[in-house]
Amino acid sequence: MAGGIGIFGGTFNPIHLGHLRGAEEVREALALDEVRFVPAAAPPHRRGVALAAATDRHRMVELAVADVPGFRSWDVELQRPGPSYSVDTMRALRAEVGPAVRIAFVIGFDAFREFETWKEHATLFTLCDVVVMTRPPWPQRLGAEEIPLAAREAFRYDSSSEVFLHESGHVLNLQRITSLDISATAIRARVAANRSIRFLVSGTVERYIAEHRLYRQEDAAR
């Protein structure tokens, strides 16, 4: 099936080239019409981590995707009070586009490993497809044991297409992408240590971080 919308949520603290290249490869592989980058306003999993203001993180996403065909930023989680839950965003999008449009929820392998802790994660599989991107150092294959227990029974593996088919008709699969071992944590640590982040983030994001003096504190390195 071609076309549809990719939803790529994240803390984006800051957005970096690992995010952008991964999203580009998923967009191309699935022939998506667009990928929407959704910064979490109040990420439920990120308490204690040095977090730039949601408005700064969203602005950096806007700068990073500006003029990139097929990419757009979506501030839906900034408009909503309280913690940012992907399942709420997905419900809102389903209500907007109706049942026929393909929606692919894009997530890195490391984040998928923690999926079990996400609010109503089993429900998310009933609302959309889920595409797990490879990310070093995590494995290059997706086993049934990686699927949260609460959702596992609803899936059946199709070995010819290498996808897990959900009883709702949606699919879960692994997308192998170019391995870029870039993390926002390492970028924040570099900024705090006054080291270069050029070619780890877009030039526009690099300038925004410098101009707004983000991540300068030592505690930003965490």
CB 166 within 8 A of CB 127: no
CB 189 within 8 A of CB 3: no
Interaction between residue 22 and ligand ATP (CB under 6 A): yes
How many residues lie near ligand ATP (CB under 6 A)?
18
CB 19 within 8 A of CB 57: no
Interaction between residue 133 and ligand ATP (CB under 6 A): yes
Site string for ligand ATP, 165-184 (x = CB under 6 A): ---------------x-xxx
Interaction between residue 11 and ligand ATP (CB under 6 A): yes
Query: Minimal distance in Å, beta carbon 36 to ligand ATP?
Result: 13
Look up residue 197 and give its two tokens. 């982040």
Distance from C-alpha of 132 to C-alpha of 107, rounded to nearest angstrom: 5
Instruction: Provide the 3-class DSSP secondary structure of residue 39.
Output: strand
What order of strands is seen across the sheet that includes strand 71-73? 71-73, 34-39, 5-10, 103-108, 129-133, 171-175, 163-166, 155-158
Interaction between residue 10 and ligand ATP (CB under 6 A): yes
Cβ closer to ligand ATP: 13 or 122?
13
Cβ closer to ligand ATP: 167 or 186?
186
- Cβ-closest residue to ligand ATP? 108
Cβ closer to ligand ATP: 46 or 156?
46
27, 58, 121, 135: which one binds ligand ATP (CB under 6 A) = 135
Site string for ligand ATP, 77-116 (x = CB under 6 A): ------------------------------xx-xx-----
Look up residue 52 and give its two tokens. 């730039």
Instruction: Provide the 3-class DSSP secondary structure of residue 218.
Output: helix
